[in-house]
Amino acid sequence: MSKSYRVAILGATGAVGTELLELLESRNFPIANLKLLASERSVGKTLKFKGENIPIEPVTEQAFENVDIVLASAGGGTSKTWAGVAVAKGAVVIDNSSAFRMHPEVPLIVPEVNPQAAASHKGIIANPNCTTILMTLAVWPLHKIKPVKRIVAATYQSASGAGAKAMEEVKTQTRDILQGKQPVAEVLPYPLAFNLFPHNSPLTDLGYCEEELKMVNETRKIFGSQEIRITATCVRVPVLRAHSEAINLEFETPFNPDEARAILSQAPGVKLVEDWQTNHFPMPIEASGQDEVLVGRIRQDISHHCGLELWLCGDQIRKGAALNAVQIAELLIEKNLLQSTTA
């Protein structure tokens, strides 16, 4: 007799929600029953899962009854309102918002990096920020060999990080500019087509935006090390899907680039993409729709004998959000950290 689980997707109609649905199907997740929850304006619509039309239900206390796993991707406010309700009714919530990431009693998990943290959950597990997930996948395998002292990250973040409406806005702006019209920005603060600007999350008193500080604080929590010095500059770029990151690493002792290349070529969730003859390295257009984070252009930092440079691209809707959440759910099943419905 196999075990199967009652799953609810909170925020089912969003970009991450629909990706969650596709991944649950393609990975043949053991589902006994599936609930799709979204805002009132989506109630009455349906989404297809394994050939069946599943109705969208409103978010209510009753909706979380008889649910084992809640995959939440509906924003921090929604998660703060409903996560506790779901846990009280017996579910484990895997939350994609920033609501619980830095809570001391909530594990923050990238399954390839710190799966052991799942055992300490008290009903809620946080999914890290997309840029953090992509970076930790590439840095952790190296950090295990030689501890990283300092990380300097520069991100090139696509429109999809701001949702499906931002992607459509960039398409519209591009058409308008090519037709000689003035581009209009409604979803993002400035036109992104043929443009770029520092990440639009709120600025803090430190002069860093929230997105940058997420990378700093979340990476330290995931790695279990507050000593790592981390700084980041996050930039929104006119790419539709998949984020890119330039990462500079400083170690205690020199890290041979060929050794780093060999380690990353075997690292889980990572795909080494390097063709030095043709200058072909990771690109967001090739990372889009892929499960793996593409890593390449690994080279010695000529400014520091203990420095290493690398470049990565990853689909932040997929591994940066939905896939990581589904992998956490699979981890909970593997480690027997869930109640189940026997099918």
User: What are the domain boundaries of the chain?
Assistant: 3-127+321-342, 132-317
Residue 343 in this model has a pLDDT that exceeds 60 = no
Task: Find out whether 236 and 159 touch, Cβ atoms under 8 Å.
Answer: yes
Query: For residue 1, what pLDDT band results from cuts at 50, 70 and 90?
Result: very low
Which tops the pLDDT comparison, 44 or 88?
A: 88
> Does the pLDDT at position 342 exceed 60?
no
pLDDT in tens, 206-255: 999 999 999 999 999 999 999 999 999 999 999 999 999 999 999 999 99
Q: Is position 17 annotated in a ligand binding site?
A: no
DSSP character at residue 221: H
User: Is 300 within any annotated ligand binding site?
Assistant: no
What's the Cα-to-Cα distance from 89 to each of 33, 84, 85, 184, 285, rounded to whole Å?
16, 9, 6, 45, 42
Residue burial 223-246, b: 16+ Cβ < 10 Å; e: rest: beeeebebebbbebbbbbbbbbbe
Has 152 been labeled as part of a binding site?
A: no
Strand partners, 125: 94
| pLDDT of amino acid 2 | 74
Ligand-binding site membership of 160 (annotated): yes
What mean pLDDT value characterizes the chain? 96
Residue 210 annotated as lining a ligand binding site: yes
- pLDDT (0 to 100) of residue 163: 87
43: pLDDT strictly greater than 70: yes
Residue 181: how many CA atoms within 13 Å on its side-chain side? 9
**261 among the known binding-site residues?**
no
Task: For residue 224, give the nearest of 125, 140, 160, 159 by alpha carbon.
Answer: 140
49-94 pLDDT per residue, tens: 999 999 999 999 999 999 999 999 999 999 999 999 999 999 999 9
Enter the DSSP assignment of 75.
-
| Alpha-carbon separation of residue 118 from 91, 94, 121, 225 (angstroms) | 15, 11, 6, 17
- pLDDT tens, position by position, 154-198: 999 999 999 889 999 999 999 999 999 999 999 999 999 999 999
d(C-alpha 77, C-alpha 99), whole Å: 7
State how far Cα 279 lies from the chain centre: 28
Query: Is 50 exceeded by the pLDDT of residue 129?
Result: yes
What is the reported pLDDT for 339?
64
Asked whether residue 244 is marked as a ligand-binding residue, the answer is: no
Report pTM: 0.96
Count of beta carbons in the 10 Å neighbourhood of residue 171? 12
Active site residues: 130, 243
42 is known to lie in a ligand binding site: yes
Tokens encoding 160: 């999809």
Structure tokens at 176: 């308008």
Reply yes or no on whether the pLDDT at 28 is more than 50: yes
- Give the CATH architecture of domain 132-317: 2-Layer Sandwich (3.30)
Q: What CATH number belongs to 3-127+321-342? A: 3.40.50.720
pLDDT of residue 217: 98
Q: Is 62 exposed, middle or buried (0-12, 13-18, 19+ CB in 10 A)?
A: exposed
Partners of 108 in the β-ladder: 126
Pairing status of strand 92-95 against strand 69-72: parallel
3-state secondary structure of 147: coil
Paired tokens of 216: 């700093």
Known binding residue 2? Answer is: no
